[in-house]
Amino acid sequence: MSGNNVTTSILKTLTPLDGLKAENLQALVKKTTIQELSSGRFLFKEGDQEKRTIYVLKGEVELRTDTKVVRVVKAGDSDAKHPLAPMLPRKVNARARTDIEFISIDSDLLDVMLTWDQTGSYEVNELRGDDAESDDWMTTLLQAKAFHKIPPANIQAIFMNMQRVSHKAGDTVIKQGDEGDFFYVITDGRCAVTRETPLNKDGIKLAELKSGDTFGEEALISEAKRNATVSMLTDGALMRLAKEHFNKLLNEPMLDWVNYKEALEIIGSGGKWLDVRLPSEFENFHQDGAINIPLYFIRLKLKTLDTAVRYVVCCDTGRRSSAGAYILSERGFDTYVLEGGLTMSDAGIN
């Protein structure tokens, strides 16, 4: 793979990318690289269901079944302006007839960007700000799998209702123990997440956040107080969304609620229980085979979870589990929230 960045002039020759506004096309450029494949190798095979939109930029690709060549796509021809066999699952094999160069774009991301672009009356640079040119936070946010669940009109409203705030290094953005009021996206700079404990009043550093990262959702979803302090490590800027807009536009569309019977069906087909209560609560009673990761540790334990597994997130009432499910969903996990939370009867505890 060459890894060379594609240019806007190349994307403008492709359909439907040629319909994107200039600034939004530039945002897509930052997420796309030119790749290479040797003659005889396959781009994809019949039955493939990976959501990738592929364009041939150089060389020839043959689309074929096991017995015959259906069509040959040659870079520069009119056929090459369109995505290569876009229907899923793929109906044919795509094999490089010569050495080729191609680009592959996340289909969900492209669909979100096209819809957002065509339903909005603004462009990326209107919200990016003068001091955040080095990081395309909006594209990073849109690339989160969770955004693919959100109706296009909501996406437009989310960005239109966001407010830009600037901070200096050392500023406290949210403080542990305060009421939740805003959801935040870092557009420029870095932040530290710390939590005060009885043994450490200065706070234990839990994480460092960068441009495109988000925080503040737990308190908004669970109706609890802030469980950590977030402060600026550098000068920077944030976009914030007020609680009422967050819950209506972002949180509600993102969560999938299931009752106990539906949850058992998911578990029975290979899913797993993810209990976000405290260890002491978990030890008292829990579902057989459940994983226990307290809500305040979820961000730190993401690498221990499998994106290929469906998780039913649970707690006692549904508040903490909905916050946990939101965090996981935002990062590409397939999650469900147990409606109403665990009860002694549901858990089979006498």
Q: Tell me the per-residue pLDDT of 253-266, one tens digit each, with 9 for 90 and over.
A: 778 899 999 999 99
**Are 61 and 96 within 8 A, CB to CB?**
yes
User: pLDDT value at position 166?
Assistant: 94
Residue that the structure tokens 């493939």 belong to = 48
User: pLDDT value at position 349?
Assistant: 44
Q: Which residues contact 81 (CB under 8 A, 6 or more apart)?
A: 13, 14, 15, 55
Give the C-alpha separation, 174 to 182, whole Å: 9
Cβ-count burial of 113 within 10 angstroms (0-12 exposed, 13-18 middle, 19+ buried)? buried
Alpha-carbon distance values, 69 to 48, 63, 65, 124 (Å): 18, 6, 6, 43
Give the C-alpha separation, 18 to 21, whole Å: 8
Give CB contacts under 8 A, 24+ apart, made by 275-284: 275/313, 275/314, 275/315, 275/342, 276/313, 276/314, 276/315, 276/320, 276/321, 276/323, 276/324, 277/315, 277/316, 277/320, 281/316
Alpha-carbon distance values, 80 to 15, 37, 102 (Å): 9, 16, 10
User: pLDDT value at position 116?
Assistant: 61
Residues 132, 211: one domain? yes
Residues 67, 137: one domain? no
pLDDT at 267 over 90: yes
Please compute the mean of the pLDDT values over residues 122-149 and round it to a whole number: 54
Cis omega (within 30 of 0) on the bond before 16? yes
Q: What percent of the chain has pLDDT over 90?
A: 47
Residues 135, 181: one domain? yes
**Are 93 and 45 within 8 A, CB to CB?**
yes
**Are 39 and 84 within 8 A, CB to CB?**
no
Tell whether 345 is covered by a domain. Answer: no
Residues 139, 241: one domain? yes
Nearest to 59 by CA among 77, 44, 46: 77
Tell whether 15 is covered by a domain. Answer: yes
Please compute the mean of the pLDDT values over residues 188-213 and round it to a whole number: 86
pLDDT at 128 over 60: no
Residues 227, 129: one domain? yes
**Are 138 and 94 within 8 A, CB to CB?**
no
Tell whether 80 is covered by a domain. Answer: yes
Q: What is the mean pLDDT of the chain?
A: 84
Please compute the mean of the pLDDT values over residues 309-325 and round it to a whole number: 90
The CATH number for 150's domain is 2.60.120.10
Give the C-alpha separation, 16 to 260, whole Å: 43
Nearest to 187 by CA among 238, 125, 123, 127: 238
Number of domains in the chain: 3
Nearest to 128 by CA among 175, 58, 186: 186
Residues 200, 241: one domain? yes
Query: Containing domain of residue 242, as a range?
Result: 120-251
Looking at per-residue pLDDT, the higher value among 288 and 221 belongs to 288
For 323, half-sphere exposure in the C-beta direction (CA atoms, 13 angstrom radius) is 29
Tell whether 154 is covered by a domain. Answer: yes
Q: What percent of the chain has pLDDT over 70?
A: 86
Tell whether 72 is covered by a domain. Answer: yes
Residues 241, 271: one domain? no
**3-state SS record for 21-70:** CHHHHHHHHCCCEEEEECCCCEEECCCCCCCEEEEEEECEEEEECCCCEE
pLDDT confidence of 121, banded at 50, 70, 90? very low
User: pLDDT value at position 144?
Assistant: 65
User: pLDDT value at position 161?
Assistant: 87
Please compute the mean of the pLDDT values over residues 41-45 and round it to a whole number: 96
Q: Tell me the per-residue pLDDT of 335-347, one tens digit each, with 9 for 90 and over.
A: 999 998 886 445 5
pLDDT at 37 over 90: yes
Residue that the structure tokens 């858990």 belong to = 347
Q: Is the pTM of this model over 0.75?
A: no
| End residue of a domain, out of 251, 277, 312 | 251
